[in-house]
Amino acid sequence: MHNHITEAYEQMGISKEVLMLCQEIEESLKERFAEMDKVTECNQLKVLSAMQKHQISEAHLGPTTGYGYNDMGREALEKVYAEIFGTEAALVRAQITCGTHALAIALSSNLRPGDELISPVGKPYNTMEEIIGIRPSKGSLAEYGVTYKQVELLEDGTFDYEGIKNAISDKTKMMTIQRSKGYLTRPTFSVKQIGELISFIKNINPNIICMVDNCYGEFVELDEPSNVGADMVVGSLIKNPGGGLAPIGGYICGTKECVENAYYRLTAPGLGAEVGATLGVNKDFFQGLFNAPQVVNGALKGAIFAANLYERLGFECVPNATESRHDIIQAVTFHDPEKVIAFCEGIQYAAPIDSHVTPTPWPMPGYNCDVIMAAGAFISGASIELSADAPMHEPYTVYFQGGLSYHHAKFGIMKSLAQLEKKGLINIIL
């Protein structure tokens, strides 16, 4: 069997040196991977329990068209999401185009002119800047009279509690808490840390809405931010909870009032949750959700494998090789644009779709610099599938995530290293 694996990797462009190094790394991670499997097992049972409790049947998998009135599958799916996330209500719709759209709905539906929004975790993800109005854009919250503040993290990446307390005013209506790092090299926050932050905020003013951008974090831990006090958790179905099958969509889980407000913003006043045809995606939404804990498990293992490999080679990784994990993203800092490009080329060449395509930096909508993105996916832009992207500026950090299985995620990382080796940008010494 060993010879078969070696031959298979050699046929896929992986040298013996790369293969031997990667096998050594993988062997060292067996015990850690076994512990992760226990978390996945619990999350799998949680999803299964929710589906059984709400008696999901074949009839729930069918489509509706037009207005989508009385779509029993859509309504049941939202009950299942609320059950899994431990919330009063949920909005899960194909009409939500992406995670950024879901966040925009959650914010704009629960903020009014004169309200204040605060980010207690520093700068938000790039695409949020135009939603908030940090960068001027048509339809931003700033255009509608919503003001914004942000409190920077302390040097060690923890919350500046004193700064947060001083920032809160009588106008403060909502806190937006980004769980994942975005295009930063700060740590991702654990559910426990988020719970402590929310408790601190609620002790100052219990009426402040705490919204958590949960993208990339679902099913990584046993709990979600909604289990520790978040009024809303928001994410994309083409990331973790879609399990690689959801072709589009997003979710907002939270209090009844917050989610009802989101219903009316997504559709129209007077219509709310009653409309929104599912057009045949219910099966993929349900099955993807069922698969999600296992898919996230594979992506997490791939991220840990990447950190251990690239740290061994002398590169700075966030999280590092041994730190606990709270999302599926792995940042690797190269301080060299050519290495970033080669890494992304390797990820693209490992894809099942468009593996013959070479990614190049380009001015993506919503970003303030050129971005290179490798994503040969079955679902366009699905970052639960093997993918990597990087803003093309210092410190030239690439963000790797996804892989519908651990073996594919591992191969993607091996291929990235092979591409760096091929271009003479790295020497592998065993």
Sign of the Cα torsion 382, 187, 141, 175 reads positive
Specify whether 18 is located in the same domain as 86: no
CB 16 within 8 Å of CB 6: yes
CATH assignment at residue 25: 3.90.1150.60
Specify whether 126 is located in the same domain as 37: no
Residue range 74-98, pLDDT digits in tens? 999 999 999 999 999 999 999 999 9
Candidates 177, 137, 122, 183; CA nearest to 390 is 183
Specify whether 317 is located in the same domain as 254: no
pLDDT tens digits in sequence order for the chain, 430 residues long: 567 899 999 999 999 999 999 999 999 999 999 999 999 999 999 999 999 999 999 999 999 999 999 999 999 999 999 999 999 999 999 999 999 999 999 999 999 999 999 999 999 998 899 999 999 999 999 999 999 999 999 999 999 999 999 999 999 999 999 999 888 878 899 999 999 999 999 999 999 999 999 999 999 999 999 999 999 999 999 999 999 999 999 999 999 999 999 999 999 999 999 999 999 999 999 999 999 999 999 999 999 999 999 999 999 999 999 999 999 999 999 999 999 999 999 999 999 999 999 999 988 777 778 999 999 999 999 999 999 999 999 999 999 999 999 999 999 999 999 999 999 999 887 6
Q: Rounded CA gap, 288 and 243, in Å?
A: 4
Specify whether 18 is located in the same domain as 96: no
Q: Strands of 249-381 (E only): list them.
A: 250-254, 316-318, 330-333, 371-374
Specify whether 14 is located in the same domain as 98: no
Specify whether 250 is located in the same domain as 356: no
Give domain status of residue 56, yes or no: no
Residue 147: what are its φ and ψ, rounded to 5°?
A: -90, 160
Specify whether 306 is located in the same domain as 336: yes
Specify whether 250 is located in the same domain as 355: no
Give domain status of residue 58, yes or no: no
Q: Rounded CA gap, 108 and 313, in Å?
A: 45
Q: How many domains does the chain have?
A: 2
Task: Put residue 172 in one of left, alpha, beta given phi > 0 → left and psi -120 to 50 → alpha.
Answer: beta
Specify whether 83 is located in the same domain as 199: yes
| pTM for the full predicted model | 0.96
Tell me which residue range forms the domain holding 371.
2-43+290-422
Candidates 348, 349, 344, 324; CA nearest to 334 is 344
Give domain status of residue 259, yes or no: yes
Sign of the Cα torsion 249, 252, 256, 257 reads negative
Give domain status of residue 228, yes or no: yes
Instruction: Please say which residue of 261, 280, 299 terminates a domain.
Output: 280
Write down the pLDDT at residue 53: 98
Give domain status of residue 54, yes or no: no
Candidates 6, 13, 15, 28; CA nearest to 307 is 28
Q: Rounded CA gap, 37 and 46, in Å?
A: 14
Residue range 184-235, pLDDT digits in tens? 878 899 999 999 999 999 999 999 999 999 999 999 999 999 999 999 999 9
Residue 210, judged by CB atoms within 10 A of its CB (0-12, 13-18, 19+), counts as buried
Q: Cβ neighbours of residue 248 under 8 Å, at least 6 residues apart?
A: 94, 96, 97, 237, 238, 281, 379
Mean pLDDT of the chain, nearest integer: 96
Task: Put residue 379 in one of left, alpha, beta given phi > 0 → left and psi -120 to 50 → alpha.
Answer: beta
Helix (H, G, I), strand (E, B) or coil at 24: helix
Q: Cβ neighbours of residue 93 under 8 Å, at least 6 residues apart?
A: 74, 249, 250, 251, 266, 276
Instruction: Please say which residue of 258, 280, 302 terminates a domain.
Output: 280
Give domain status of residue 218, yes or no: yes
Q: How many CB atoms lie within 10 A of CB 226?
A: 23
Specify whether 121 is located in the same domain as 139: yes
Radius of gyration of the chain (CA): 21
Task: Put residue 315 in one of left, alpha, beta given phi > 0 → left and psi -120 to 50 → alpha.
Answer: beta
Q: Rounded CA gap, 246 and 195, in Å?
A: 29
Specify whether 67 is located in the same domain as 133: yes
Helix (H, G, I), strand (E, B) or coil at 133: coil
CATH assignment at residue 215: 3.40.640.10
Specify whether 113 is located in the same domain as 173: yes
Helices (H), 56-160: 72-85, 99-110, 126-132
Residue range 241-276, pLDDT digits in tens? 999 999 999 999 999 999 999 999 999 999 999 999
Q: Which long-range contacts (CB under 8 A, 24 or more apart) does 420-427 make?
A: 420/339, 420/342, 420/343, 420/346, 421/15, 421/17, 421/18, 422/342, 423/338, 423/342, 425/336, 425/338, 425/339, 425/342, 426/313, 426/339
Write down the pLDDT at residue 1: 58
Give domain status of residue 206, yes or no: yes
Give domain status of residue 285, yes or no: no
Instruction: Please say which residue of 280, 312, 332 terminates a domain.
Output: 280
